[in-house]
Structure 1
Amino acid sequence: MGFFDKQLQAGDHLVTERLGYTHHGIYLGRNKVIHYSGLAAGLRAGPVEITDWDNFSQGKRTYVKQHHSRMFSRRQTIKRARSRLSEDKYNLLLNNCEHFINWCIYGKSRSEQVSKVAIYLVSQGLFGGTISSFSLIRVVGKTAFRVSKNL
């Protein structure tokens, strides 16, 4: 892990690959990562926790996602993340690990992964014409896109 310590900075947004999705955390330094454990370890949802690098990455490729226009500094990002330690309100669609990290960095909960899935489902007509634009916005965690008519 020492090699990574020299390249990483505390407050970096870490992304690690999983089967079919990515998992997100904030690097705290000294081989520690804070993340919404959610479904990272299986089907049981878990809380916001601090873990070590190996547990977070699970041996998968892990990289730093750059943020050039952060709302909060790296130090503030870590403080915000720590303020939610032990929170146990994980929700795959509305409060997942990516929502958590974006809230820590930007003050807004959002998940690009959830948005992309919702957009795909809408484009494929998989909601069966029963979901309103308001409901769709709620499903994707109040992200920036809107659908102007009932689907």
Structure 2
Amino acid sequence: MSNIYGELIYVDRGLYRHFGVGVGEDHVIHFNGGDKSTGRIILSSCKEFSGGKTINLSIGTTDITKSEIVARAYSQLGGDFEGYDLINNNCEHFARWCVFGKKSSSQVIFKNDEQDVVEKVIDLFFDSTYNLIGKPIDDFIDGIQKKLFR
């Protein structure tokens, strides 16, 4: 899969989404789960990560550059990211930390963390809306800027 470098990506696995960070050359760094003692941050091919399912982009705005996002992901490679926990520290927490600098999970909507349920629902709405409307507009503007400032 191309154009995933520094992107927050996920695969829909039915009951949940599995998240990771695209690091180039068709590879993804992600939290493989398991339990607190066995979960590790690993590097996988896109094929291994996806398990044959479609890889999706989860778009949002961040001040962190793509190269910084990838460096953050690589900095945790092989580690346990403070131990896997389905509710408090899962694959989405890891991937969002890489991209946004903050651990969070939209899938764990009722967890009592820094965001309340209303904030999480608003975030989910705007993430989805941005994917449909904002991302194509941003890509268009980026294209024009690249042509103007070659």
TM-score relative to the length of structure 2? 0.69
Match of 1:143 in 2: 114
Alpha-carbon distance change, 73 to 16 in structure 1, aligned in 2, over 3 angstroms: same
* Alignment partner of 1:29 is 2:35: no
Equivalences for residues 38-53 of structure 1 within 5 A = 38-39=33-34, 45-53=38-46
Higher relative helix content: 2
Select 1:60's aligned residue among 48, 53, 69. 53
Aligned-residue Cα RMSD (Å) equals: 2.1
Partner SS state of residue 100, structure 1: helix
Q: Distance in 2 between matches of 1:75 and 1:25?
A: 15
Match of 1:78 in 2: 70
In structure 2, stretches of 5+ residues that fail to align are: 119-150
Alpha-carbon distance change, 60 to 76 in structure 1, aligned in 2, over 3 angstroms: same
Q: Distance in 2 between matches of 1:71 and 1:35?
A: 21
Aligned length: 115
On the 8 A contact 1:13/1:101 being kept in 2, the answer is yes
Select 1:100's aligned residue among 94, 106, 117. 94
TM-score relative to the length of structure 1? 0.69
Percent of pairs identical after alignment? 31
Q: Select the structure with the greater relative contact order (CA < 8 A; seq sep ≥ 6).
A: 2
Letter of the 1:108 counterpart: K
On the 8 A contact 1:71/1:107 being kept in 2, the answer is no
